[in-house]
Amino acid sequence: MIKVNFEKAEEINNIGKHVAGAKSHIADLLAGKIDMTGWVDHPIKYDKEEFSRIKEVANEIKSEAEVLVSIGIGGSYLGAKAAIEYLSDYYSHRTVRANGNTVGADIIRPNGVEVIFVGNGLSEKYLKETLDYVEGKNFYVNVISKSGGTLEPAVAFDKFKALVEKKYGHDALKKRIIATTDKAKGILKEEADREGYRTFVVPDDIGGRYSVLSAVGLLPIACAGFDIDKLMKGAEEARSIYTLLDENKNDAMKYAIIRNLYYENRKDIEVFATLSPNMQYFAEWLKQLFGESECKGNKGIFPASLNMTADLHSMGQLMQDGKRNMFETFIMIENDYDETRVKYNDKFFVNDLNDIALRATEKAHHTGNVPVIEMKVAEQNEATLGELFYFFEMSCAISALILGVNPFNQPGVEEYKKNIKELLK
């Protein structure tokens, strides 16, 4: 379970101001009174038949291929990327933990394929080098786009489809391409039906940035060798806690309220500080979730991120002494170590130093007038990741609703997509 410490966030004493509002927002989310809230009950209501198919296809890919090329952008990319980084060992993409429960007892086993992400930008060099890298390998393609028409993934898909045809022949498209898209509409769905690709569905009532626990995230995560049952179980447990209408038991609610209180006090930047290098993409996922859900109508908290302790030696200056318009949310893995511990001296392991650095930094920033919220997660495994995803999705939705914005649309992103289509004409 995520342990949240609000001790250095004085606004905790004023949460009463928004408690009634937050509770009614949670009740509305649970009652489905707001559009695009399929993610709220998804951990208990997800399509079990599709879930089994995801595992079957992942097993086929793991037994036959070396690489899965995952094509997507934004919500169709960041969740899976964050998850695979969070769960992987640092120096081997093909080794994963057999037992996500206890770090010390884990056995390392090579059972996942390398998952490569493309279609998340328009760098010609990146695309070309990825095509070259994949060409010599045995690969499958998972193209992920809810709308089916987003430019960046469409460009990459075009090239990887051509590579499948060149390498394996036209008939292999049916086997090697898996499309994750809308159940009925969009050009990707039309093409999948025409060409006979296997498909998975991005549920109608779940928007891109809330979709990591659907096929969007699950297929790449399963292909990387991770246990998606445990991931969903973690999310299910999180759902049972973070939908409670009791501020003393529901830290997602408290956190959402506190963010708003800081915003009302002119703290309009939230810095997410992580202390494990493999959490950097989790921070990117957070930035998309909060930035796209909350920042609209000229309102919202700018989400930023820092990678500790490295950034203490650069951005630490700004955090300590720059403009006082931010608050900081630390996310720390308590047991950030492998089976073989690394000692610093007779008294401390290196992980203890990470914890001491956290305390020293929190104290310094708090003294420097940056309110601090601390979250600690016991260890990095599928269950804690499922919990983290759900915790932040729920707190982001509540937070945006308190602020008075719709957390589930993205008019700004649509504007860019519209402009680029115009220019391409």
| Shortest Cβ 209–ligand PA5 spacing (Å) | 4
Give CA–CA dist 266/365, Å, rounded: 17
Catalytic residues: 292, 313, 417
| Shortest Cβ 205–ligand PA5 spacing (Å) | 13
Among the listed residues 6, 58, 69, 76, the single contact to ligand PA5 using CB under 6 A: 76
Among the listed residues 79, 153, 217, 371, the single contact to ligand PA5 using CB under 6 A: 153
Among the listed residues 38, 43, 75, 220, the single contact to ligand PA5 using CB under 6 A: 75
Two structure tokens written together for 177: 């391409």
Per CB under 6 A, which region of 15-23, 131-139, 193-201, 204-212 contacts ligand PA5? 204-212
Among the listed residues 4, 40, 51, 74, the single contact to ligand PA5 using CB under 6 A: 74
Q: Which of residues 270-309 bind ligand PA5 (CB under 6 A)?
A: 292
Per CB under 6 A, which region of 74-82, 89-97, 357-365, 374-382 contacts ligand PA5? 74-82
| Shortest Cβ 145–ligand PA5 spacing (Å) | 3
Per CB under 6 A, which region of 68-76, 320-328, 367-375, 389-397 contacts ligand PA5? 68-76
Q: How many CA atoms lie within 13 A of 134 on its CB side?
A: 29
| Shortest Cβ 76–ligand PA5 spacing (Å) | 4
Two structure tokens written together for 80: 């899976």
Q: Are 307 and 271 in contact (CB under 8 A)?
A: no
Residue ranges of the alpha helices (H) in 138-279? 151-168, 173-176, 187-195, 215-223, 228-242, 251-264
- Mark 208-237 with x for binding to ligand PA5 (rule: CB under 6 A) and - for no binding: xx----------------------------
Spatial CB neighbours of 406, under 8 Å, sequence gap ≥ 6 = 296, 400
Residue 196 backbone zone (phi > 0: left; psi -120 to 50: alpha; other: beta): left
DSSP 18-35: HHHHHHHHHHHHHTT-SS
**CA-CA-CA-CA torsion for 413, 401, 405, 399, nearest 10 degrees?**
-60
Tell me, rounded to whole angstroms, the distance of Cα 121 from its chain centroid.
18
| Shortest Cβ 75–ligand PA5 spacing (Å) | 3
Residue 290 backbone zone (phi > 0: left; psi -120 to 50: alpha; other: beta): alpha
State the DSSP code for 343. B
Tell whether residue 410 is a contact of ligand PA5 (CB under 6 A): yes
Spatial CB neighbours of 194, under 8 Å, sequence gap ≥ 6 = none
| Shortest Cβ 123–ligand PA5 spacing (Å) | 17
Q: Which is nearer to ligand PA5, 215 or 319 (CB)?
A: 215
Q: Which is nearer to ligand PA5, 100 or 208 (CB)?
A: 208
Tell whether residue 413 is a contact of ligand PA5 (CB under 6 A): yes
Quick count: other Cβ atoms within 10 Å of Cβ 104?
Answer: 11
Q: Which is nearer to ligand PA5, 208 or 386 (CB)?
A: 208
Among the listed residues 40, 73, 177, 319, the single contact to ligand PA5 using CB under 6 A: 73
> Which residue type does 344 have?
Y
Q: Are 118 and 66 in contact (CB under 8 A)?
A: no
| Shortest Cβ 147–ligand PA5 spacing (Å) | 3
Which residue number is nearest to ligand PA5 in terms of Cβ? 208
Nearest CA-CA partner of 329 in 266, 397, 392 = 392
Q: Which is nearer to ligand PA5, 145 or 354 (CB)?
A: 145
Give CA–CA dist 86/19, Å, rounded: 33
| Shortest Cβ 410–ligand PA5 spacing (Å) | 5
Beta bridge partners of 390: none
Q: Which of residues 133-152 bind ligand PA5 (CB under 6 A)?
A: 145-147, 150
Tell whether residue 362 is a contact of ligand PA5 (CB under 6 A): no
Tell whether residue 155 is a contact of ligand PA5 (CB under 6 A): no
Cα distances (angstroms) measured from residue 214 to each of 44, 168, 224, 230: 12, 29, 16, 14
Q: Which is nearer to ligand PA5, 145 or 351 (CB)?
A: 145
Per CB under 6 A, which region of 17-25, 104-112, 205-213, 236-244 contacts ligand PA5? 205-213
Q: Which is nearer to ligand PA5, 150 or 250 (CB)?
A: 150
Interacting residues with ligand PA5 (CB under 6 A)? 73-76, 145-147, 150, 153, 207-209, 292, 410, 413
